[in-house]
Structure 1
């Protein structure tokens, strides 16, 4: 599998596990993101975050939920991605009343595809961690915006401003 670069990132053509809540029940689907976008008239915001139920990740997920109508009006679906398990995602969605689906990437296949696993220095110790990143694809599956190593607080508002036509 060829690794994407900033210039040629496209939606991957392999299945991922997506978790969503519908009428109080959790649904786990295997979806192909490339096919998902091809079968709708919407673009896709794919955002990567380090860990369920942590302060920055909670801020980001709840801000995306609060702004879901604005993104829908702009023509985008939103999907969060972390390396957490399906069960962790269920708890996170339930506890924070999230209205966005989350991808469980426990095998890091999607994270590796988008190259969001990087070395981090945590209190002097070098570890591999997920770098908070966002990739925006139009309804044709073409990358229109990418940002890595972003701050969670207020990011959704900044993204809305970036995506809003002038």
Structure 2
């Protein structure tokens, strides 16, 4: 797959999601999408980020925006995480790293003094016609969701 460029269409993709669903990007034409990548289900930072999106869910809905979370965890892990946290949005199981590679979020990271491949916490806004509108890399969990919301409110 080719490199994504701001202002250009995101290639259509199909991927397994929570609740036995299969999500296809083109199914969301007419709505904006917040596609957020996070390292791992049920870890403190990822839980905090997901809960923050949940806490602002109604505001995102009011802006005609769909939230989709992505990690390399399995659909089963995602189902447990979504159920435990009460997330009102779907989580996408990118077990083969197709979306991670498309959005270039797999990076070498230092964990406990060792270099490991992992997801760099990142968020992307895709507009109603499937065009990549905005990206955030190396996201700071505590303030990020309000930044995303403020950006979308600025478009309204």
- Alignment coverage as a number of residue pairs: 155
TM superposition score normalised by structure 2? 0.92
Name structure 1 gaps, 5 residues minimum. Answer: 20-26
Higher relative contact order (CA 8 A, sep 6+): 2
Q: Going by fraction, where is helix more abundant, 1 or 2?
A: 2
TM superposition score normalised by structure 1? 0.87
Q: Within 5 A, what are the aligned runs for 1:32-71?
A: 32-33=24-25, 35-38=26-29, 41-71=30-60
Name structure 2 gaps, 5 residues minimum. Answer: none
Aligned residue in 2 for 1:24: none
SS in 2 for 1:161: helix
Find the aligned partners of 2:7 and 2:131 in 1 and give their Cα distance.
9
Is 1:10 paired with 2:9?
yes
Q: Which of these residues, 63, 75, 84, is aligned with residue 86 of structure 1?
A: 75
1:5-42 Cα shifts (integer Å, max 9, x gaps): x44663332311111xxxxxxx2122221x1222xx21
SS in 1 for 2:154: coil
RMSD of aligned alpha carbons: 1.6
Contact 2:37 2:120 in 1 (8 A): yes
